[in-house]
C-alpha cells in the first residue's frame, strides 16, 4: 500500500513528540493532547487575511515565535519563552525595554537539577542587531547562532546532551500547530507558507528549526530604538552631528560636537527641548569631554552615539570587583598575570557551562571573565593594531560588551551581572574604578577608564543627561520640540 511521504513525516513527528514529552516526565501525555493531528487538521485557522501585507505577516510570525512558550522543556517548572526575560512595556514592577527586573536571569527549574540562575543580567534587545558580536561576552557572531543556542540550551530547560530533543520539540510545535495559541490568525505551517513559501511538512526537523531561527532573528533585528528621545530632538533642533563620521574617532567627534556647542552658547542660541534643562546640558558636556581639566567623563569613547555603544569589549572593573570580593584584593591581577604567562590557561579555567550557570553557593567564589573566555586572539576582529595575541588575551580578561545607554531607565539593574540596582550606584563604581586606574591600582583595566575623571558632585548632571535618552512617542517628541526650553545661560557650565 502506498503511504504519502507527508503522512509518514506527520506520523513520525507525532510519535517523536510522544517519546520526547513522555521522557521529560509530562504526566498523562498523548499525541493528541500535545497538539499532534492529521495533515487535514493542521490547516485549522489557516486562512490569511487578504488585506495584510507581507511585512505585517512576517512581523506577526516573528512576534509569535518570540512569545512561544511551547519550545521549552516540558519537564521544567514554567513554560519560558524569549519574551519571559526580554519583557517589553509594563510588568508587575516596572516599565521594561526588552529586559526583566532581576539581577541575573532565572532559568526554568528542572526536577533533576533544582533552581538555576545565570551569571548574566538580561540585556535589552533594542539595537542588538547592529553589533557584530553578540551576548555580553561576544560568544556568537550572528543572531541566528545565538537564538539556536538559546532554544536548545539551559535558558529553555535543556541540558547540553539534550540538543536533539530540543530540536525535535521545536519541530513538533511548528508542524503540529493549529493556530489556537495567543490568538494566532493562522497555524505555523500556513504562516510560514504564506510568508516564505516553504511547506514545513516537507522538511526534516533541522530544516524546520532553521526556518524558525531565521524568522526569530529577523524579528529581533527589527527591535530598534526609535531615536525619538529629548536628546535626539536637541540634535535635530541644533543641527548637530548624531555620530562620528567615516574614520572619525569618538574623541574627535566629541571635540567637534563640543566645539559647536561652545559656539552656540557664546552666541546664546542653544536650542534645548522641553525637559532638557541646564543640568542635563551640563551632564552632556561631561559625558562628551575626553580631555582637559576635570570633570572629564570620557563616556563617549565607549558609549558612542548614535547607539551609545561601540559594540566592543572593555574591562571596566566589574568582573575585577566580583573576583577580588570573593578572593581578596589583588586576586584579579594575579589571575591576569597567570594568563599573560600562559594564555591557554584561561580556557581551561573557565569552561563554558560552569561560567554561564550558578548551581550552588560554592560556585559564587568564581567570576565571569567575559570576552576573554571566548575570543580567539589569532583571529579576533577586536585586536588593536600592533597588539600581540598575549596582550589581547590579557586586555579581554574581564571585558564585556558596552551596553547601550538608550532607554537606560527601563533596563535596571545594571552591568553584566546586575550588581548595581540604581544608575547612581553604577556611576559610583565607574568613579571609584577610574580613580584606581589613575593611581596605578588596576594595571589591567581598559585604558579609557584612566581618562575618566569625575566625582560624586558630577552624578546629578550625568543622571539628568542620561534620562534624556529615553524614547518618546511621536506626539511626546513633537510637544518637546515645538515648545523648547528657555535656556538660562547663567546655569550653563563653562567647562
In this prediction, residue 339 carries a pLDDT of 79
Statement: 5-221 belongs to CATH 3.40.50.10470: no
In this prediction, residue 207 carries a pLDDT of 94
Separation of alpha carbons 244 and 6, rounded Å:
55
Separation of alpha carbons 171 and 213, rounded Å:
11
Q: Which residue has the cell 542635563?
A: 280
Strands 95-99 and 357-358: unpaired
Least Cα distance to 387 among 333, 330, 446 occurs for: 446
Separation of alpha carbons 138 and 311, rounded Å:
9
In this prediction, residue 380 carries a pLDDT of 87
Beta strands in 86-151 (DSSP E): 87-90, 95-99, 117-118
Sequence spans of domains, the chain: 5-221
pLDDT mean by block of 10 residues, the chain; 495 residues: 38 42 35 34 40 80 94 86 93 86 84 71 95 92 95 89 93 91 83 94 92 97 95 93 95 96 92 92 97 95 97 94 86 85 63 44 59 84 88 90 96 94 96 95 92 97 97 87 85 75
* Bridge partner list, 140: 134
pTM reported for the whole predicted model: 0.85
- Under a CB-based contact definition with an 8 Å cutoff, are residues 405 and 283 in contact? no
Least Cα distance to 320 among 407, 230, 429, 247 occurs for: 429
Separation of alpha carbons 240 and 436, rounded Å:
35
* Bridge partner list, 368: none
Least Cα distance to 364 among 416, 323, 398 occurs for: 323
In this prediction, residue 338 carries a pLDDT of 82
For residue 319, count other CB atoms closer than 10 A to its CB. 23
At residue 59, the 3 state secondary structure works out as helix
Separation of alpha carbons 331 and 275, rounded Å:
45
Q: Which residue has the cell 561652545?
A: 262
Separation of alpha carbons 378 and 396, rounded Å:
13
* Bridge partner list, 89: 96
Amino acid at each position: 500500500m502506498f503511504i504519502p511521504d507527508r503522512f509518514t513525516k506527520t506520523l513520525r513527528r507525532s510519535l517523536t513528540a510522544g517519546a520526547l514529552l513522555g521522557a521529560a516526565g509530562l504526566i498523562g501525555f498523548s499525541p493528541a493532547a500535545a497538539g499532534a493531528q492529521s495533515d487535514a487538521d493542521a490547516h485549522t485557522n489557516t486562512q490569511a487575511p487578504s488585506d495584510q501585507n507581507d511585512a505585517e505577516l512576517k512581523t506577526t510570525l516573528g512576534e509569535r515565535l518570540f512569545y512561544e512558550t511551547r519550545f521549552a522543556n516540558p519537564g521544567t517548572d514554567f513554560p519560558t519563552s524569549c519574551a519571559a526575560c526580554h519583557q517589553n512595556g509594563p510588568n508587575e514592577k516596572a516599565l521594561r525595554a526588552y529586559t526583566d527586573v532581576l539581577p541575573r536571569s532565572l532559568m526554568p527549574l528542572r526536577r533533576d537539577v533544582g533552581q538555576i540562575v545565570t551569571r548574566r543580567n538580561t540585556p535589552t534587545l533594542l539595537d542588538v542587531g547592529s553589533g557584530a558580536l553578540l551576548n555580553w561576552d561576544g560568544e556568537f557572531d550572528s543572531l541566528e547562532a545565538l537564538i539556536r543556542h538559546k532554544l536548545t540550551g539551559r535558558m529553555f530547560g535543556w541540558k547540553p546532551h539534550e540538543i536533539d530533543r530540543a530540536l525535535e520539540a521545536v519541530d513538533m510545535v511548528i508542524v503540529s500547530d493549529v493556530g489556537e495559541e495567543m490568538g494566532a490568525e493562522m497555524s505555523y505551517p500556513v504562516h510560514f507558507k504564506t510568508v516564505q513559501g516553504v511547506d514545513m511538512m516537507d522538511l526534516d526537523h533541522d530544516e524546520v528549526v532553521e526556518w524558525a531561527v531565521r524568522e526569530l532573528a529577523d524579528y529581533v533585528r527589527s527591535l530598534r530604538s526609535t531615536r525619538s528621545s529629548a536628546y535626539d530632538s536637541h540634535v535635530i533642533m541644533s543641527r548637530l552631528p548624531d555620530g562620528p563620521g567615516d574614520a572619525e574617532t569618538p574623541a574627535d567627534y566629541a571635540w567637534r560636537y563640543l566645539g559647536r556647542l561652545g559656539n552656540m552658547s557664546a552666541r546664546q542660541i542653544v536650542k534645548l527641548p522641553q525637559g532638557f534643562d541646564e543640568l542635563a546640558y551640563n551632564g552632556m558636556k561631561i559625558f562628551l569631554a575626553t580631555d582637559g581639566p576635570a570633570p572629564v567623563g570620557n563616556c563617549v569613547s565607549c558609549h558612542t552615539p548614535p547607539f551609545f555603544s561601540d559594540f566592543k569589549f572593555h574591562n571596566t572593573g566589574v568582573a575585577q570587583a566580583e573576583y577580588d570580593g570573593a578572593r581578596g584584593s589583588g586576586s584579579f591581577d594575579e589571575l591576569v598575570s597567570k594568563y599573560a604567562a600562559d594564555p591557554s590557561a584561561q580556557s581551561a579555567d573557565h569552561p563554558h557551562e560552569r561560567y554561564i550557570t550558578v548551581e550552588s553557593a560554592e560556585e559564587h567564589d568564581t567570576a565571569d571573565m567575559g570576552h576573554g573566555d571566548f575570543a580567539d586572539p589569532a583571529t579576533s576582529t577586536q585586536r588593536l593594531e600592533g597588539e600581540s595575541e598575549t596582550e589581547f588575551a590579557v586586555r579581554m580578561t574581564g571585558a564585556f560588551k558596552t551596553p547601550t545607554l538608550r532607554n537606560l531607565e527601563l533596563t535596571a539593574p545594571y552591568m553584566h551581572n546586575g550588581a548595581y540596582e540604581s544608575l547612581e550606584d553604577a556611576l559610583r563604581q565607574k568613579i571609584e574604578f577610574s580613580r584606581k586606574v589613575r593611581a596605578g591600582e588596576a594595571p589591567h583595566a581598559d585604558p579609557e577608564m584612566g581618562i575618566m575623571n569625575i566625582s560624586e558632585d558630577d552624578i546629578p548632571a550625568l543622571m539628568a543627561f542620561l534620562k534624556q535618552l529615553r524614547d518618546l512617542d511621536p506626539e511626546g517628541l513633537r510637544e518637546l520640540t515645538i515648545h523648547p526650553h528657555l535656556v538660562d545661560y547663567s546655569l550653563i557650565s563653562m567647562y
